[in-house]
Homo-oligomer: A and B are copies of this chain.
Amino acid sequence: MDRFLPRKDDYPKEIHKALRHSLFAGGKRIRPYLMVLIYYMYKKQLTPEILMPAAAIELLHTYTLIHDDLPEIDNDDYRRGKKTCHVVFGADIALLAGDSLLIESINMINNTHISVSKRIKLIKDLTAIAGERGLIAGQMQDILSENQECTKNTLEFIHINKTAKLLQLCTRWGAYLADAKAEEIKKMDEFGKKLGLAFQIVDDILDVEGNAETLGKSIGKDEKTRKATYPAVLGMKKSKALAEKYTNEALKILATYGRDAVYLEALTKYLLERKK
């Protein structure tokens, strides 16, 4: 990512500094990590081919964080343990930095040696899950559901679109780019969906029970704004049971790979037990 993007003192430097601030603020890198692990599981080696699409997803993810944190949406001051982009650079520059990361994520896929037909497929996938039938739809319904009674169906719609679909894309791409068979890609898609839902439930739980310092972001905000979260809709006990259920279903899929999935298994378990 560092080598691909303009240097932070390129002209006009404020924009490059701003997006690098958020992109290199740390973060768990779950999405690219997941993609690389799955690719490795099928391919038994790592090639540069996987790195650019994996990085592209991290750019896309960071764009959503910057825009979500803006004053008009979640108005969050901390993210990944650092001040958010708009707090440091102002909302105007943060807005542009988000736009820019979204654009560069697609640009990044194009700056690879992957065949054009594969690239077209990746870009189609990416715009499909990022657009108004994917991430944007989830984010939109999330905003509309604040301070509203929320059904279990709506809650699921939000979390599938806002979170699970992107994780699913990573697990699917890992297999697709390793030239895995169609049925394998489908299996990884299913794995990604279970993992994505578990991930979001844990996220909701951490917003209630987590430690702001460990998490690197403010906590308790969901409750204050009466967001549609799992603990709010199902209660804490049922939420924890559901996160565990999805995790177990994800692990069951991995079990069919035996020792080959040992890293993926560790990651899946970590995502359930994580404190950040």
Number of copies: 2
A92-125 interface bits toward B, Cβ cutoff 8 Å, 1 = contact, 0 = none: 1101101110111011001000001101100110
Distance between Cα atoms of A103 and B125 in the complex (Å): 11
Nearest CB on B from A212, distance (A): 24
Within 8 Å of chain B (Cβ to Cβ): is A209?
no
- In the complex, which residue of chain B has the Cβ closest to the Cβ of A119? B120
Within 8 Å of chain B (Cβ to Cβ): is A266?
no
Q: Are B144 and A124 in contact (CB under 8 A)?
A: no
Q: Are B100 and A103 in contact (CB under 8 A)?
A: no
Nearest CB on B from A187, distance (A): 26
**Cross-chain contact of A136 among B67, B103, B119, B133 (Cβ < 8 A):** B103
Q: Are B99 and A136 in contact (CB under 8 A)?
A: yes
Within 8 Å of chain B (Cβ to Cβ): is A254?
no
Q: Are A136 and B100 in contact (CB under 8 A)?
A: yes
Q: Are A106 and B104 in contact (CB under 8 A)?
A: no
**Cross-chain contact of A144 among B14, B91, B98, B137 (Cβ < 8 A):** B14
Distance between Cα atoms of A99 and B72 in the complex (Å): 14
A5-34 interface bits toward B, Cβ cutoff 8 Å, 1 = contact, 0 = none: 110000110111001000000000000000
Given contacts A19-B132, A91-B72, contact A14 B100 (CB under 8 A): no
Within 8 Å of chain B (Cβ to Cβ): is A139?
yes
Nearest CB on B from A131, distance (A): 4
**Cross-chain contact of A128 among B19, B71, B107, B141 (Cβ < 8 A):** B107
**Cross-chain contact of A110 among B19, B91, B123 (Cβ < 8 A):** B123
Q: Are B16 and A132 in contact (CB under 8 A)?
A: yes
Q: Are B95 and A72 in contact (CB under 8 A)?
A: yes
Nearest CB on B from A144, distance (A): 6
**Cross-chain contact of A116 among B107, B117, B133, B141 (Cβ < 8 A):** B117
Within 8 Å of chain B (Cβ to Cβ): is A127?
yes
- In the complex, which residue of chain B has the Cβ closest to the Cβ of A142? B12
- In the complex, which residue of chain B has the Cβ closest to the Cβ of A64? B99
Nearest CB on B from A84, distance (A): 14
Q: Are B132 and A15 in contact (CB under 8 A)?
A: yes
Within 8 Å of chain B (Cβ to Cβ): is A155?
no
Residues of A168-186 whose CB lies within 8 A of B: none
Within 8 Å of chain B (Cβ to Cβ): is A140?
yes
List 12 A–B pairs whose Cβ atoms lie within 8 Å, in order of A's numbering: A12-B144, A16-B132, A67-B96, A72-B92, A96-B136, A98-B99, A99-B102, A103-B131, A104-B131, A106-B106, A110-B127, A116-B120
